Structure 1
Amino acid sequence: MACKILVVEDEIFVATEIEYVVSELGHKPVGIAADKASAFHLAPLADIALVDLNLRDGATGTEIGRLLAEQHGITVLFMTANPSQLGDGVPGTVGVLAKPVGEDELIQAVNYVVAKRHALEAEAPARMMLFS
């Protein structure tokens, strides 16, 4: 059940750590997008996107996540230090995990999103806020 996962994150060290964990879990990282243009360039390659809110081109993450879900059918999980920016959530997306995120929590979050992508039951990390 390997998935192709896009990392939308402008902090390169954070992004490469996420990619490392994704690949260690047996999934295929399709790239790192630091802004809206690169996210949409890589979107056709992805099944899942892990999306930060504040990127190189500003607070575009909310819109990126919504459009990736709506227009590309990508399963989206937001990962941000500012989860309150999402209010009650973004339609079509899974939820948000507050940063900083430890490796164990990241593994659990990726496993959860992969399970959701395949319509399977899974337990979300305790700090993950799920959207309805």
Structure 2
Amino acid sequence: MGCRIMVVEDEIFVATEIEYIVEELGHQPVGIAADTASAFSLAPFADIALVDLNLKDGATGREIGRRLAEMHGVTVLYMTANPSQLGDGVPGTLGVLPKPVAEDELKDAVRFTVAHRMTKDGVAPRRLRTF
């Protein structure tokens, strides 16, 4: 299989849909994390994390993403309805995809994130803002 991808999202229906798309693209979902503790318990198993900002334990996604990238070498793509909360970006993370996200946009974003992890190359999809 391709990359191991973690979904950091507290809305279970959104998270399971993202996992389904990840699997459909040939990658391995490693789990859904709805808060900080579960994100870091899954971190050793993930190459990539798709991270929402507002989770069960509050607005912790920004810091989760930063720490996943810095401490675990995970490629982090934020997915949020509030991209302005990220300001100019988070050091070490890839970028942000604004929600809501159409299925095709999500597929393109996952493909780009995987390609970037492998080669540091690729053209970002139209709505994805890189840092």
Aligned to 1:77: 77
Aligned to 2:116: 116
Aligned to 1:51: 51
Q: Work out the CA distance in 1 between the residues paired with 2:123 and 2:89.
A: 19
Q: Work out the CA distance in 1 between the residues paired with 2:123 and 2:18.
A: 20
Residue 99 of structure 1 pairs with residue 99 of structure 2: yes
Unaligned runs of 5+ in 1: none
**CA shift for structure 1 position 50:** 0.2
| Partner SS for 2:79 | strand
Unaligned runs of 5+ in 2: none
**CA shift for structure 1 position 52:** 0.1
Equivalent residue pairs, number: 131
| Partner SS for 1:7 | strand
Q: Work out the CA distance in 2 between the residues paired with 1:119 and 1:91.
A: 19
Deviations 1:30-83 (A, max 9, x none): 000000000000000000000000000000000000000000000000000000
| Partner SS for 2:126 | coil
**CA shift for structure 1 position 119:** 1.4
**CA shift for structure 1 position 122:** 1.8
**CA shift for structure 1 position 123:** 2.0
Aligned to 2:7: 7
| Partner SS for 1:77 | strand
* 1:28-39 equivalent positions in 2, closer than 5 A: 28-39=28-39
Q: Work out the CA distance in 2 between the residues paired with 1:85 and 1:121.
A: 26
Q: Work out the CA distance in 1 between the residues paired with 2:125 and 2:52.
A: 17
**CA shift for structure 1 position 120:** 4.7
Q: Work out the CA distance in 2 between the residues paired with 1:66 and 1:75.
A: 10
Structure 1 runs, 4 residues or longer, greater than 2 Å off: none
Q: Work out the CA distance in 1 between the residues paired with 2:47 and 2:120.
A: 15
Q: Percent identity?
A: 74
TM-score, normalised relative to structure 2: 0.98
| Partner SS for 2:31 | strand
